[in-house]
Structure 1
Amino acid sequence: MNITKNEIDALNASLHITIEPSDYEEKFKDELNKYRGKASLKGFRKGKTPIATIKKMYGKAILAETINNILGETLNTYLTEEKIETLGQPIPTEDTEVTHFDVKNLGDYKFDFDLGIAPQFEVAGMDDGIEKKVVEVAEESVTEEFELARKRFGGEIFPEDDIEDNDLLTLSAVELDGDKVKKKGWETGFQILVKDLEDSVKEEVLKLKKGGKFKFNIRSVEKDKDEKHVNKYLLNLDEDEEKEIGDMFEGTIDKVSRISPAEINQEFFDKYTGQEGAETSEEEIRAKIRANIEEHYNTQTKNLMFKEIMDHLMEANKIELPNAFLKRWLKLSNENATDEVIEAEFEAFSQNLKWNLIKSKLEAKYEIEVLPEDIKEGFKKRIAGYFGGNPQGIDLDQMAESMMKNQEQFRQVFEEEKAEKLFQAISADMNIVENPISLDEFKELVKKVNEEAA
């Protein structure tokens, strides 16, 4: 076996590999005999086909596979032993000729490959300062969440003397002819939220009570609903049913349903925390709500900070890549990729590759390791998030272990936990400066970042 490396520049190299008969002849014979043992050809018993016949019929394909296997092993072994860090995979040089395999005359086979060499660099920018936004939670936000919690754990009541914006109305309605009920007109019944009523109708309804009547255009009474919705849910028509029905109806309020906020007592505290006696006062519940809100926004501000760290390190490390090689490799690796597609997407691809190079350096520096228990905790955090951070009656361990069997989800959580560990290590090394920001300012900032990303 003869291997020659030619260094073109710091990012490009070529390999010339010569495979001689002594490298493959015995392996080729072994493969022929293996095939002979399995072959079942007409006129011969299984395993008794003459080797010359096997060689004549299948020798070229077997030789090609043997050479290619040896070539692949040789490439991998050489790159590993020589500690050559490559990008992508070795690819045949552009002037490589088609190899013709000759089973009658076993000779030398020569192969030439281009290599894209990973750039050598030390990560710069680690001594600089990075800003982390800290959202200041206003008391109004705590109160709003507190009242929502009371409604969430409250009960349903049916008031008869007034109507409020969040009430659900049960209506019976009849078609009108002018100002009067239409003879043999359409009759229907449906439920509708007061807050979803068209503004002028809502203004009128809020002055009524159970048993009250009001006139409305059934095709516009509910905001932002199309004809299909009106026919199905308000007129109660079958999908293929066609009727000539007018616009104007008179509705009677048969029932008013309202969620009554939970009483501020120990029962409410226990329902909110999911634990009996964990909190015993409104002040403690408010403190827990504040902590939950702060944790929610802390996660988001941390993600923003991580993006700033990523952008900062990308800016601080001007990494050069073997672009021409990578474009050729992308085209050879993706049979449907055209030159136009590769050019259009190459900038995003190269930026992602550069960040992965920086990330790999830092993962090695900080010895980032993701253990099975880290992944399990990651799944448990996901599950808790599904239930608003308060999963009552759920066996988190059992559910996490079940979800971990999904390979795609396992991979996602593994990458998330690895990224979290990496950024925690980076944050501990860098100079993080906290900057207080109001919730409104933070929402505007997130909106701007999302728009830029889009």
Structure 2
Amino acid sequence: MQVTETKAEGLKREIEIVVPASDLEARLQTRLYEAKDQVKLKGFRPGKVPLAHMRKMYGRSFMAEIVNQIVSETPRNVIAERGERSAMQPEIQMTEDEAEAEKVLRGEGDFRFTLSYETLPSFELKETSGIKIERPVVEIPEDEVEEQVKRIAENARAYEPKDGAAENGDRVTMDFVGKIDGEAFQGGSATDSNLVIGSGQFIPGFEDQLVGVKAGEEKQVEVNFPEDYGATHLAGKAAVFDVTVKAVAAPGELELNDELAKKLGLESIERLRTVVREQIESQFGMATRQKVKRQLLDALDADYDFELPEKLVEAEFGNIWTQVSRELEQSGKSFEDEDTTEEKAREDYRKLAERRVRLGLVLSEIGEKAGVTISDEELQRAVLEQVRQYPGQEQQIYDYFRKTPEAVQSLRAPIYEEKVVDHLLSTVDVTDKTVTKEELMKDDEEDEQAAA
């Protein structure tokens, strides 16, 4: 086999490989000999079929198998022998000339093909001990815990049917249909919906207009969706809701006691407070982790600047752009609505793609040098976490991962990244800084995009 490098420009490589006809013939002879004892042909005893006859019957198909095997195995071996790592699956180009291809299959010509690929860049890892991270920490006051406990108690509060008109604090059970310009809109209808007047759960102005309604009454509620409403296709629009009141109920006493906890499956109100505190700590902990990770990745991004494989960047940009386009389509917005242009957005998101690829390569190299690995148990826990996200479909989701190994492997990258981040945080200078809840939670979306 002859291996000739025909291009070496930056990370791009092109390798021409020639397998002489004599090598193909030797492989074919071996294949024919191996198959001799297995082939059953009329008129011949087992193992007594002449090789010439075997070649006539199976030579072409066996040669096709040999060519496919060469194409499958050679790229990996050639790249490894060159001491390189391909950024993505190499592209393989073979002749499109049918006559030339036929000569190869008949064993009369050399087999030529070309590998095109980009290598992973080589770079020196830099010292991380000089990186300084400020970890934002929120001290959870008792009144924060108590407020959350009261919200839980509100949701568990008992309500008694009421004959009179609904007042602030009463619960109204209703059916409603929302319309804009006389047309019902998606997500604007519900049946047997419960709403506590004054809870602020619905669009501003909606609950106020339910004060005074009685069971069996029909009412039209007119509201305006806020300009910053989450569903942007409804933001700022006037709507009319046709409401049918089915029941009105008055609230019972708000109980903060062991009986409340027992209704929730806990032994005491103190245990409930402990659980609530743990939930708040977990929520704030995730936000703290996100901000710490953002600082760490920013520091790494500033430390490294090397050529990136174009195809990796293109693939990452394609993923980002598909998501952005889908979100714009679902929201009914345009780039102009976001105070930008498509050209500027493409430029910004390409920079984000380059950052992600660069950091991915750096983290991978750091993890490899540090001996970071993913155990089967960790992958299994990740699968179970995915399963839990689909209540009612657990078996189908579990079966999907069991039958789709590549889906399981897709969970490996985020686990690996978090373990490398943990390793790095043990090597850098981390100091705690007490902040408010508002300071900790702001700009989370930007942090998530940059840290990803």
The TM-score normalised by the length of structure 1 is 0.64
Alignment equivalent of 1:108, drawn from 110, 123, 131: 110
Aligned-pair identity in percent equals 20
* Partners of 1:375 and 1:413 within 8 A in 2: yes
Q: Which amino acid aligns with 1:361?
A: E
Alignment equivalent of 1:297, drawn from 278, 284, 294: 284
More deviation in 350-359 or 196-205?
196-205
CA shift, 1:148, in A, is: 1.3
Alignment equivalent of 1:315, drawn from 302, 311, 318: 302
Alignment equivalent of 2:261, drawn from 238, 249, 269: 269
Q: Which amino acid aligns with 1:113?
A: L
Q: Which residue of 2 aligns with 1:367?
A: 371
Deviations 1:105-149 (A, max 9, x none): 624333343442221112336221123222343444323211112
Q: Which residue of 2 aligns with 1:220?
A: 221
* Bigger Rg, structure 1 or 2: 1
CA shift, 1:313, in A, is: 1.4
Q: Which amino acid aligns with 1:137?
A: I
- Alpha-carbon distance change, 285 to 26 in structure 1, aligned in 2, over 3 angstroms: same
- Alpha-carbon distance change, 386 to 142 in structure 1, aligned in 2, over 3 angstroms: farther
Alignment equivalent of 1:438, drawn from 436, 439, 451: 436
Q: Which amino acid aligns with 1:16?
A: E
- Alpha-carbon distance change, 9 to 350 in structure 1, aligned in 2, over 3 angstroms: same
Q: Which amino acid aligns with 2:427?
A: D
* 3-state secondary structure, aligned to 1:169: strand
- Alpha-carbon distance change, 163 to 300 in structure 1, aligned in 2, over 3 angstroms: same
Equivalent-residue separation in structure 1 for 2:384 and 2:91 (angstroms): 44
Equivalent-residue separation in structure 2 for 1:411 and 1:310 (angstroms): 24
More deviation in 135-144 or 435-444?
135-144
Q: Which residue of 1 aligns with 2:339?
A: none
- Alpha-carbon distance change, 62 to 347 in structure 1, aligned in 2, over 3 angstroms: farther
- Alpha-carbon distance change, 446 to 141 in structure 1, aligned in 2, over 3 angstroms: same
* 3-state secondary structure, aligned to 1:130: strand
More deviation in 440-449 or 161-170?
161-170
Q: Which residue of 2 aligns with 1:250?
A: none
Equivalent-residue separation in structure 1 for 2:137 and 2:72 (angstroms): 53
Equivalent-residue separation in structure 1 for 2:60 and 2:273 (angstroms): 78
CA shift, 1:230, in A, is: 5.1
- Alpha-carbon distance change, 327 to 257 in structure 1, aligned in 2, over 3 angstroms: closer
* Partners of 1:151 and 1:259 within 8 A in 2: no
CA shift, 1:399, in A, is: 12
* 3-state secondary structure, aligned to 2:302: helix
Alignment equivalent of 1:168, drawn from 166, 171, 195: 171
Q: How many residues align?
A: 388
- Alpha-carbon distance change, 63 to 350 in structure 1, aligned in 2, over 3 angstroms: farther
- Alpha-carbon distance change, 438 to 228 in structure 1, aligned in 2, over 3 angstroms: closer
Q: Which residue of 2 aligns with 1:78?
A: 78
- Alpha-carbon distance change, 4 to 78 in structure 1, aligned in 2, over 3 angstroms: same
Alignment equivalent of 2:362, drawn from 358, 363, 370: 358
* 3-state secondary structure, aligned to 2:90: strand
CA shift, 1:79, in A, is: 2.6
Equivalent-residue separation in structure 1 for 2:246 and 2:20 (angstroms): 93
- Alpha-carbon distance change, 401 to 105 in structure 1, aligned in 2, over 3 angstroms: closer
* 3-state secondary structure, aligned to 2:133: strand
CA shift, 1:299, in A, is: 1.1
Alignment RMSD (CA, Å): 5.4
* Partners of 1:90 and 1:113 within 8 A in 2: yes
Equivalent-residue separation in structure 2 for 1:204 and 1:7 (angstroms): 74
Which blocks of at least 5 consecutive residues in structure 2 are unaligned?
A: 176-190, 226-233, 319-342
Equivalent-residue separation in structure 2 for 1:320 and 1:171 (angstroms): 61
Q: Which residue of 2 aligns with 1:424?
A: 422
* Partners of 2:3 and 2:16 within 8 A in 1: yes
- Alpha-carbon distance change, 164 to 304 in structure 1, aligned in 2, over 3 angstroms: farther
* Partners of 1:126 and 1:429 within 8 A in 2: yes
CA shift, 1:309, in A, is: 2.0
Q: Please show how residues 37-436 of structure 1 align to structure 2 within 5 Å.
A: 63-91=63-91, 98=97, 100-102=101-103, 103=105, 106-124=108-126, 126-127=128-129, 128-159=131-162, 163-169=166-172, 193=195, 194-195=197-198, 206=211, 208=212, 218-220=219-221, 234=244, 255-260=247-252, 263-272=255-264, 274-276=265-267, 280=268, 282=270, 285-323=272-310, 349-378=353-382, 405=402, 407=404, 410-411=408-409, 413-436=411-434
- Alpha-carbon distance change, 418 to 377 in structure 1, aligned in 2, over 3 angstroms: same
- Alpha-carbon distance change, 191 to 423 in structure 1, aligned in 2, over 3 angstroms: closer
- Alpha-carbon distance change, 171 to 403 in structure 1, aligned in 2, over 3 angstroms: closer
